[in-house]
C-alpha cells in the first residue's frame, strides 16, 4: 500500500488537471463552453473532489483541543487561504493585470470578501473554520460515531444560518461542499467506513454508477442536479481513492501527477491567466472533434499549462514575502524565529 501523502497528492494532481481541462473548454467557448458534454462531466465531480481530499487529510493533520489550538488553526488557514485570495484578487488583478487605471475600490474589497472569483479559497476557509469547532468538541468524546454525527448536524445548522446571514439560500454551495468535506472526515476517522469504501465490490459498484451518472449532470440544472452531484462526487471519491491506492503507477507519471498535486494551489490560481488561449473568438478548430478526442487534445494543452504554473510558483517561492502573500506559505525559518522569541520571552518571565 502506498504512503498516504502519495495517493493524496495523486488525487489532487488529477483533480487540478481536470480543472485546467475544464477551464480550457469553458474560457475558449469550445463546442458551446458550459454546454459542452466533456465540461459537464468534469464539473460534476472535480471541485467536490478537492473538498473530499481536504476533509480526508484534514482529520489526519488538524488537532484542536482548546481555545489556543483553535485560534492557531484559524490563523494557519487564514494565512494559507485568505492571504492568497486577497493578494491575487486585489494586488494581482487590480494592479498588475488591470487594463485601465490602477486602483482598489471599496467595491473591489467587498466583492473579494463576499463574492470572490477565487471562491474555492473562501469556501474552504469557511469550512475549515467550522471544522475547528467540530474537531474541538469531538476531541472531548473521541471516536464516538453517534456524537460526531450529532455534531455534524449542528455544523449543518450553523453553516445554514451563516449562509442565510450572508444573503444566500439555505442549500448554498457552502453547505453542499461542507457535506463532501465531512463525508471524507468520517471516512478518515472511522476505519470501518474506510474499509467499506475500499471493498472491491463497493469500488466496482461505485465505478459503474460514477461512469453512468456523470453524463446526466447539467451545470445549468435544478436542485435535482445538486442531488445528482452529491451522488456522482461521492462515487468519484471512492473510485479515485481506490485507483490511486491500488494501482502501481509508472514512476515517472506518478511523480508528475504528484507534483501537480503538491502545487495544486498555485496551479489553481495561475491557470486562470493561461487557459484563455484566444483573445476574442472561440476555438472553432475543435468544434468537430468527438468528446474523447476533445478530452485528449485539451489534456495535451492542460499539461504544459500546469508546468508553467508550477514554474511560476517556484519562482514565487524564492522570496519569503512573495511566497507568503501569493501562496500562503510561511517558511520554517520564520516559524523557527518566532519559537525562539517565544522561548526567550518565557525564560525572561521565569
Give CA–CA dist 113/122, Å, rounded.
8
8 closest CA partner among 49, 69, 42: 49
125 closest CA partner among 265, 297, 282, 10: 265
Helices 223-246/46-61 angle, 10° precision: 60
pTM over 0.95: no
120 closest CA partner among 200, 180, 33, 188: 180
Tens digit of pLDDT at every position of the chain (350 positions): 445 478 999 999 999 999 999 999 999 988 888 889 999 999 999 999 999 999 999 999 999 999 999 999 999 999 999 999 999 988 877 666 665 556 677 887 888 888 888 999 999 999 999 999 999 999 988 889 999 999 999 999 999 898 888 877 656 789 999 999 999 999 999 999 999 999 999 999 999 999 999 999 999 888 899 899 999 999 999 999 999 998 888 999 999 999 999 999 999 999 999 998 876 666 666 778 899 999 999 999 999 999 999 999 999 999 999 999 999 987 654 555 455 555 555 555 55
Secondary structure (3-state) at 45: coil
Amino acid at each position: 500500500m502506498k504512503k498516504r501523502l502519495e495517493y493524496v497528492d495523486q488525487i489532487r494532481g488529477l483533480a487540478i488537471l481536470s480543472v485546467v481541462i475544464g477551464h480550457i473548454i469553458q474560457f475558449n467557448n469550445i463546442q458551446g463552453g458550459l454546454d459542452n458534454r466533456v465540461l459537464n462531466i468534469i464539473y460534476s465531480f472535480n471541485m467536490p473532489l478537492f473538498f473530499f481530499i481536504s476533509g480526508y487529510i484534514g482529520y489526519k493533520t488538524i488537532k484542536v483541543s482548546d481555545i489556543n489550538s483553535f485560534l492557531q488553526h484559524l490563523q494557519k488557514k487564514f494565512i494559507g487561504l485568505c492571504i492568497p485570495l486577497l493578494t491575487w484578487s486585489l494586488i494581482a488583478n487590480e494592479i498588475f493585470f488591470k487594463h485601465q487605471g490602477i486602483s482598489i475600490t471599496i467595491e473591489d474589497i467587498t466583492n473579494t470578501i463576499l463574492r470572490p472569483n477565487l471562491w474555492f479559497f473562501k469556501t474552504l476557509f469557511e469550512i475549515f473554520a467550522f471544522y475547528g469547532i467540530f474537531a474541538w468538541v469531538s476531541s472531548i468524546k473521541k471516536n464516538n460515531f453517534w456524537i460526531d454525527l450529532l455534531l455534524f448536524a449542528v455544523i449543518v445548522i450553523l453553516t445554514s444560518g451563516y449562509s442565510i446571514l450572508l444573503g444566500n439560500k439555505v442549500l448554498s454551495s457552502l453547505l453542499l461542499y461542507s457535506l463532501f468535506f465531512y463525508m471524507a472526515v468520517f471516512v478518515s476517522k472511522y476505519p470501518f467506513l474506510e474499509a467499506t469504501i475500499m471493498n472491491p465490490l463497493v469500488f466496482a459498484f461505485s465505478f459503474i454508477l460514477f461512469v453512468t451518472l456523470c453524463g446526466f449532470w447539467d451545470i445549468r440544472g435544478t436542485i435535482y442536479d445538486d442531488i445528482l452531484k452529491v451522488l456522482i462526487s461521492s462515487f468519484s471519491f471512492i473510485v479515485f481513492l481506490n485507483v490511486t491506492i491500488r494501482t502501481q503507477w509508472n514512476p515517472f507519471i506518478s511523480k508528475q501527477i504528484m507534483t501537480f498535486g503538491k502545487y495544486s494551489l498555485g496551479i489553481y490560481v495561475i491557470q486562470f491567466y493561461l487557459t484563455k488561449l484566444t483573445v476574442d473568438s472561440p476555438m472553432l478548430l475543435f468544434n468537430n472533434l468527438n468528446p474523447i478526442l476533445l478530452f485528449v487534445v485539451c489534456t495535451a494543452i492542460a499539461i504544459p499549462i500546469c508546468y508553467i504554473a508550477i514554474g511560476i510558483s517556484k519562482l514565487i517561492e524564492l522570496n519569503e514575502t512573495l511566497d507568503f502573500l501569493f501562496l500562503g506559505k510561511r517558511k520554517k525559518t520564520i516559524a523557527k524565529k518566532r519559537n525562539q522569541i517565544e522561548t526567550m520571552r518565557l525564560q525572561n518571565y521565569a
